[in-house]
Amino acid sequence: MVAQHITWHKIFVLLVITLCSLLLVIFGLPVLAKPIAKILPQQLAQHISEYISVPFENSFGVCKNPQGLAALNKLTKHLSSAAQLQQPISVIIINDPDANNAFATPNGKILLFAGLLAATDNQQQLAGIMAHEIAHTILLHPEIAVVRDNGLFILLLAMFGKDPTIQHHLLTLNFSRQAEFAADNLAVELLNQAQIGTTGLIDFLKKINSPETNNLVNMGDLLATHPAISERIIKIQQTDNNGQIKSRPLLTDSEWQVLKNICN
Amino acid sequence: MHQTNYFEYHGSAEKIFKIWTYSLLLNILSLGIYSFWGKSLLRQYLAANFSMAEHTVHYTGSGKELCFSFLKALPLWVLLIASVKIFENTPLEKICVIILFILVVYLTFVGLYASLKYRLTHTSWRDINCHMYGNSWRFGLSAFALMVVAICSLGLMLGWMDHHLYKKKFNRIFIGNLHVTYTGTHHALFKINLITLLLAIPTLGLSRIWYVAKMRNYVYNHTQFGEYKILNTEVGAELIKLYVWGFAISVISLGLLYPLVINRKMQYIATHFALVGNLKLLTANSEQQVTETMGEGLYDIMDAETDLW
């Protein structure tokens, strides 16, 4: 008889082995991702970064007003020097007024979208956002995410044979949230070292969390993998001992205005 | 007076569930490699539980063959994807995507024919082997041309397309030494297609399932080999019930009770297909079988589901 050898006992043993293997993959891969990310060749990291950023740059264009760029570089340099980074940070502004988003890619490249820049009220808020993204870069979150997410995706694809997008998204959600809290923690440190303080970051988070501005700032895409904003605000305030450092502006008013209108 | 010989199906949902779960788990552990063996195992079980006149059907396909055919078809697929990647972000990207789309549709038809050919050449009953000849690539071209006409006619020519597709497939099959012939005309299918197309919106598409039942009724009841005729007794309402039930069970159980759907489908086939004629006169063939080298590899890559028949 065909398939006579398949018994419930065998299926049970296989089920246990499969579950153990899946748990090993789900929890083991993120652990392995960090050391792998650390030894990721710079050329490869740059290639991945370009692979992510070039489609945005080609589709929407990059804001290149020289005075605006100078102001942006000044802010970036100040935050980076506070972190004493080995690799240079480069921030580019993508000319998409509808995207209220910012993210870090491997190799220290940060993409800031025009929509998000327009949503900031002052330079402290922008510095807060940038510190958060720089923190992601310092903590190698983009590199770790590339290694972990692609590894998980390939393994899930091979295991289940179908497009595992939904399962993959659910599995990586928790890691993304952990990364957001870690980036907030380090951003607090960077902002305080740069004598900017956390008021701007907290104000911006409060702004996007308020019901009045929900229509103005659609953070749906950005927050899909982020923890609740109110929870983030509380944790930032706790880390910062409720804001001991007084905020001081790094850019002059005219520099801030030029930066704010860099895409116009 | 010709005798009617009905199929009998003795398989159980429990056994299918066992094979299906066993294959799924080994598939996960082997990172997908076991899928070919799992598919073969299930087909062997289903075939072995199908019988007519106390003789069971045999399926002799193997996982190794399916795996090799997949590996043979894989470079073609890699080549297609690579060509799109090469032209990404260039002015030729859109043209390349259109060409890829056309090729994917064409290759799906090629895979459909190759897959049917493979399954038939690996199926036998009472030592009588099935055999199919014809070039899969040429079939793909004809099928693609028929599909273009059907699309241009906004679906009005779908019946005509189905008639020609079945004609091209069935008239290339041998059962033992007997040549299968389909003698239908496209006029009958045209009429059924037209009526069900007009009813598609008010019936929320269910009329199209009714079309499938009527079309298969017509096609199989106009197919014979030697003095033997195929009898198909499918009814639209029953097919709709089968589809809706299968869909509901799969969705509610998140696919875990899919073996129940397979079992029900096999019962349905056994109930609605029969052979008319004296089976004692049907003799075994001794010809060397020609197998399809591409097998189901192409169809597997297209992620198309293939059943035993």
Give pLDDT tens digits for A74-92. Answer: 999 888 887 767 678 899 9
Distance from chain centroid for Cα B196: 22
Size of interface A-B (CB pairs under 8 A): 51
The answer to whether position A12 is within a domain reads: no
User: Rounded to a whole number, what is the distance in Å from the CA of A32 to chain B's nearest CA?
Assistant: 19
Q: Alpha-carbon distance B37 to B55, whole Å?
A: 25
Chain B hits for A21, CB-CB cut-off 8 Å, are 28-29
**Cα angle vertex B16, ends B14, B17, to 5°?**
60
Contact (Cβ atoms closer than 8 angstroms) between residue B200 and residue B208:
yes
Length of chain A: 264
- Identify how many contiguous H helices and E strands chain B contains and give both numbers: 11, 11
Q: Which DSSP category does B287 fall into?
A: P
The answer to whether position A11 is within a domain reads: no
Q: Residue A215's pLDDT is what? A: 45
Q: Which DSSP category does A247 fall into?
A: P
Contact (Cβ atoms closer than 8 angstroms) between residue B50 and residue B275:
no
User: Rounded to a whole number, what is the distance in Å from the CA of A18 to chain B's nearest CA?
Assistant: 6
A59 HSE (CA, 13 A, CB side): 10
Query: Could you tell me the pLDDT band of residue A219, with boundaries at 50, 70 and 90?
Result: very low
Q: Alpha-carbon distance B8 to A107, whole Å?
A: 65
Q: Alpha-carbon distance B238 to B240, whole Å?
A: 5
The answer to whether position A43 is within a domain reads: yes
Chain A hits for B22, CB-CB cut-off 8 Å, are 3, 6, 10-11, 14
Query: Quick check: B27 and A14 CB within 8 A?
Result: no
Total domain count for chain A? 1
Q: Alpha-carbon distance B185 to A185, whole Å?
A: 75
The answer to whether position A1 is within a domain reads: no
ipTM > 0.90, yes or no: no
Contacts of A166 (CB under 8 A, 6+ apart): none
B61 HSE (CA, 13 A, CB side): 38
Query: Could you tell me the pLDDT band of residue A237, with boundaries at 50, 70 and 90?
Result: confident
pLDDT at A225 over 90: no
Q: Residue A197's pLDDT is what? A: 87
Q: Alpha-carbon distance A158 to A8, whole Å?
A: 25
Q: Alpha-carbon distance A25 to A5, whole Å?
A: 29
* DSSP per-residue letters across A27-43: HHHHHHHHHHHHT--HH
Q: What is the dihedral of CA A49, A53, A57, A62, to 10 degrees?
A: -70
Rounded to the nearest integer, the mean pLDDT of chain A is 84
Chain B hits for A6, CB-CB cut-off 8 Å, are 18-19, 22
Query: Quick check: A18 and B48 CB within 8 A?
Result: no
Question: Which one has a higher pLDDT value, A153 or A117?
Answer: A117
Q: Which DSSP category does A62 fall into?
A: B
Q: Residue B110's pLDDT is what? A: 92
H or E element that contains B308: none
The answer to whether position A15 is within a domain reads: no
Contact (Cβ atoms closer than 8 angstroms) between residue B297 and residue B71:
yes
End-to-end CA distance of chain B: 29
Question: Which one has a higher pLDDT value, B88 or A114?
Answer: A114
3-state secondary structure of B105: helix
Burial of B177 (0-12, 13-18, 19+ CB in 10 A): middle
The answer to whether position A19 is within a domain reads: no
Q: Alpha-carbon distance B183 to B166, whole Å?
A: 10
**Residue among A7, A10, A18 whose CB faces B29 most closely:** A18
User: Rounded to a whole number, what is the distance in Å from the CA of A225 to chain B's nearest CA?
Assistant: 25
- Give chain B's contact residues with A (Cβ, < 8 Å): 15, 18-19, 21-22, 25-29, 31-32, 35, 41, 44-45, 48, 89, 303
To test the contact with chain B by mutation, choose from A2, A7, A47 the residue with the greatest count of B C-beta atoms within 10 A, namely A2
**Residue among B35, B45, B89 whose CB faces A3 most closely:** B45
Task: Name the residue among B306, B302, B292, B304 with its Cα closest to residue B100.
Answer: B302
Range of the domain at A227: 28-260
Q: Alpha-carbon distance B215 to A221, whole Å?
A: 47
The answer to whether position A202 is within a domain reads: yes
- A90 bridge partner residues: A109
Tokens of B196: 């069900």
Query: Quick check: B25 and A11 CB within 8 A?
Result: yes
Contact (Cβ atoms closer than 8 angstroms) between residue A201 and residue A236:
yes
pLDDT at A167 over 70: no
Question: Which one has a higher pLDDT value, B1 or A67?
Answer: A67
- Give chain A's contact residues with B (Cβ, < 8 Å): 1-3, 6-8, 10-11, 14-15, 17-18, 21-22, 54-55, 58, 155, 158-162
Q: Alpha-carbon distance B225 to B120, whole Å?
A: 15
Q: Residue B281's pLDDT is what? A: 76
User: Rounded to a whole number, what is the distance in Å from the CA of B47 to chain A's nearest CA?
Assistant: 10
Strand pairing class (A90-94; A109-113): parallel
Q: Going along chain A, which residue ranges are E strands?
A: 90-94, 102-105, 109-113
Residue A89 φ/ψ region, left for φ over 0, alpha for ψ in the -120 to 50 degree band, beta for the rest: beta
Query: Could you tell me the pLDDT band of residue A220, with boundaries at 50, 70 and 90?
Result: very low
- CB count within 10 Å of CB B306 equals 16
Task: Name the residue among B71, B75, B100 with its Cα closest to residue B88.
Answer: B100
Contacts of B26 (CB under 8 A, 6+ apart): A14, B34, B37, B38
Query: Quick check: A2 and B44 CB within 8 A?
Result: yes
Query: Could you tell me the pLDDT band of residue A207, with boundaries at 50, 70 and 90?
Result: confident
Q: Residue A221's pLDDT is what? A: 43
Contacts of B97 (CB under 8 A, 6+ apart): B84
pTM of the prediction?
A: 0.73
H or E element that contains B131: strand B128-132
- CB count within 10 Å of CB B11 equals 20
Q: Helix, strand, coil: what percent of chain B each, to 5?
A: 60, 15, 25
Contacts of B90 (CB under 8 A, 6+ apart): none
Q: Alpha-carbon distance B16 to B46, whole Å?
A: 8
Q: Alpha-carbon distance A137 to A194, whole Å?
A: 17
Q: Residue B226's pLDDT is what? A: 87
Residues A128, A134, A136, A138: is their CA dihedral positive or negative?
negative
Q: Alpha-carbon distance A129 to A136, whole Å?
A: 11
Question: Which one has a higher pLDDT value, A221 or A16?
Answer: A16
Q: Residue A171's pLDDT is what? A: 65
Tell me the mean pLDDT per 10 residues along chain B, length 309.
Answer: 86 94 92 91 93 90 91 86 80 85 91 90 89 91 96 94 94 91 92 92 91 94 92 93 93 90 94 89 60 55 47
User: Rounded to a whole number, what is the distance in Å from the CA of B96 to chain A's nearest CA?
Assistant: 18
Q: Name the residue in chain A with its Cα closest to that of B85.
A: A51
